[in-house]
Amino acid sequence: MSVNTIILKPDICDASNRDLAHPPELMQDREHNGLITYWQTVTWRRHPEPLLANITMSWNKSLELTDDVLITFEYGRPTIMILDKSMDHGRSWQPYQFYADDCLDAFNMAPKRVRDLSPANITKVLCTEQYSRWVGSKNDKNVKFEVRARFAVFAGPRLQNMDSLYTRMESMKGLKDFFTFTNLRLRLLRPALGGTYVQRDNLLKYFYAISNIDVPA
């Protein structure tokens, strides 16, 4: 009796082959028939330590955020990242939010959530651990920059009093500017680890992959 063994060889990303490429435009393409397409970096094995990547989005005009910014990661969310914004077309940058599995260790900041803010400090730049800690599930794909929750401080939990928000936008110094930008930038500083330490003998498992970036503005 003979047994035939089938060995499945995984495809390797190849930018020169359309079927094997993971170009940046796949972060914003239209996906059909349930097929998820995504951009992907090289693995940690092919990159100097640490594995870093920047993603810059430019609009050539000033925009105002109207809802949550949503970034969808495939195969694990970064354990450390920063969302930056520019108001002068990329000539200067300032942090919008810090993300880490341990905010004190990564940025020397105490972890906070938007719900901890008050009207007096609503434009405070936070570090959150909500979207970075490993929970053992690939179903947790999304990372948010919470805009609606900041709006709710003035407009109510269901945003039923938008007039109050608009009045504050015009009268409160720096509030309107906080939601205004010309460019956004993701600084990916450490990929999903799948645990508490880096497996040095299997660096191929570490990379960044983004299937969607939604910026309502």
Domain ranges for the chain, please list them.
37-212
Backbone angles phi, psi at 69, to 5 degrees: -80, 130
Q: Which two tokens stand for residue 140?
A: 């947790």
Is 75's pLDDT higher than 50? Answer: yes
State residue 70's pLDDT score.
96
Is 80's pLDDT higher than 70? Answer: yes
- Residue 5: pLDDT band with limits 50, 70, 90: very low
State residue 137's pLDDT score.
53
pLDDT digit string (tens) for 134-153?
Answer: 765 566 899 999 999 999 99
Distance of alpha carbon 154 from its chain centroid, rounded? 26
Which of helix, strand or coil describes residue 44? helix
State residue 24's pLDDT score.
64
- Residue 129: pLDDT band with limits 50, 70, 90: very high
Alpha-carbon gap, residue 5 to 131, rounded angstroms? 41
pLDDT digit string (tens) for 29-42?
Answer: 676 677 778 888 88
State residue 6's pLDDT score.
41
Beta strand spans in the chain (E): 39-40, 53-64, 69-73, 80-86, 94-100, 126-128, 142-145, 180-190, 209-214
Is 65's pLDDT higher than 60? Answer: yes
Q: What is the mean pLDDT of residues 105-124?
A: 94
More confident position, 163 or 202: 163
Average pLDDT score, the chain: 85
What is the CATH number assigned to the segment(s) 37-212?
A: 2.60.120.260
More confident position, 2 or 37: 37
Is 8's pLDDT higher than 70? Answer: no
Alpha-carbon gap, residue 81 to 77, rounded angstroms? 9
Q: What is the mean pLDDT of residues 89-115?
A: 96
Which of helix, strand or coil describes residue 164? helix
